[in-house]
Structure 1
Amino acid sequence: MASGAPATESPTSVFDVAAYILRREGPMTTWKLQKLVYYCQAWSLVWDDDVLFQEEIQAWANGPVVPALYEIHRGEYRVATIQQGNPDVLTDSQRETVDAVLDFYGNKSPQWLSDLTHMEDPWRKARAGIRDGERGTARITEESLAEYYGSLQTDVS
């Protein structure tokens, strides 16, 4: 299980990860893209003991959001490309992680993904004290992601 602290500085940005997701999966709603990059970060912390990207994740009313990514797709419902991202900079290990996340979560609806995040501790704990539907910018920490999603992983030896 991950210690919760990033092992190294990741040269990959959330834009690179989003560009990779869109190249593989095709156009999607911005809402779904936000949830997929969130799950990619969470499982990278568990499986690789490292962050996938450095940008902060916040617990917004509709689920986890990376504000830096939101800023470039603000006002759009669907997105097909992320011009600021380069999908080719992901390492083989990072691509394996993202591919595994997409294999599991990629066919889920944005609403399903949002509902799932609302039932999970990292978002719930970050939103503690904030009313349902109320705006909030509480940070979801890498430590909370590693701890929660690491507890879901079972050892198969």
Structure 2
Amino acid sequence: MVFVTFFSIEKVVFNHYLTSMPVAPIPLANEFVDRYGGGNSIDHLKLQKLLYFTQGWWLALNGGQLVSERPQVWRYGPVFRWVYNAFNRYGDRAINAPTSGNPLAGGQPVRLSPQERAAVGPMIDWIWGEYGARSGVDLSNETHAIGTPWQRIAAAHRYSVPLGTEIPARDDWEYFSQLAIQRGWNPAPFAG
């Protein structure tokens, strides 16, 4: 276990806890719900897009994947399948509690480890500051904009994308790296 400072955004330094494996998507989703759920109206659509932006910015600024699952190209933008399975029971209602990850088994919600929380917590807070005031529909529309990885893949399939089509990590890294450059930040080299 190694703690390394990789980058600074708006005077907030992120210390990334390096592991051999990225984090699972459901504990990351639960962290958003724990921090910003309840009165902040995080619905399922918004949660999916917050996770996507977190993964994308992490790729651009860290070079490697944060989430162990690749987002898929779905009708309303990028979707993490396991998060969909765990939270789809909420429909378009606000998600008011973290989930165990298995809607049939119940049990305690799955959480990030303390080290993972320390590493990704500042990024989650930054993402919320950037995107949290927007609706899920607004965030979905942003993922559909011309030139986004979702839009390029959907257009290449004439907007009839086969089920399970993933957005490659390199595509997200390239897109979010360009956003970082537009802000005057130096993206990290792509590490996959």
The 8 Å contact of residues 63 and 118 in structure 1, kept in 2 or not, is answered as yes
Would you identify which runs of 4 or more consecutive aligned residues in structure 1 move more than 6 Å? none
The 8 Å contact of residues 59 and 173 in structure 2, kept in 1 or not, is answered as yes
Is 1:83 aligned with 2:100?
A: yes
The 8 Å contact of residues 58 and 140 in structure 1, kept in 2 or not, is answered as yes
CA offset at residue 92 of structure 1? Answer: 2.4
Q: Please state whether the residue corresponding to 1:127 is helix, strand or coil.
A: helix
Which of residues 94, 105, 108 is equivalent to 2:131? Answer: 105
Aligned equivalent of 2:65 = 51
Q: Which has the higher contact order (CA 8 A, sep 6+)?
A: 1
Is 1:66 aligned with 2:85?
A: no
Aligned residues: 151
TM norm structure 1: 0.84
Superposed, 1:8-23 pairs within 5 Å as 9-23=20-34
1:96/1:138 CA distance change after superposition, 3 Å: same
1:153/1:99 CA distance change after superposition, 3 Å: same
- Structure 1: 5+ residue stretches without partners: 1-6
Provide the alpha-carbon RMSD of the alignment.
2.3
Is 1:122 aligned with 2:133?
A: no
- Structure 2: 5+ residue stretches without partners: 1-17, 102-109, 187-192
- Determine the C-alpha separation between the residues in 1 that align with 2:159 and 2:185: 38
Structure with bigger gyration radius:
2
The 8 Å contact of residues 35 and 64 in structure 1, kept in 2 or not, is answered as yes
CA offset at residue 130 of structure 1? Answer: 3.7
CA offset at residue 66 of structure 1? Answer: 0.5
The 8 Å contact of residues 62 and 114 in structure 1, kept in 2 or not, is answered as yes
TM norm structure 2: 0.70
Q: Deviations over 1:90-126 (max 9, x none)?
A: 2423111121111100111111101100004211122
- Greater shift, 141-150 or 44-53, is seen at 44-53
CA offset at residue 137 of structure 1? Answer: 3.3
The 8 Å contact of residues 150 and 167 in structure 2, kept in 1 or not, is answered as yes
Q: Please state whether the residue corresponding to 2:53 is helix, strand or coil.
A: helix
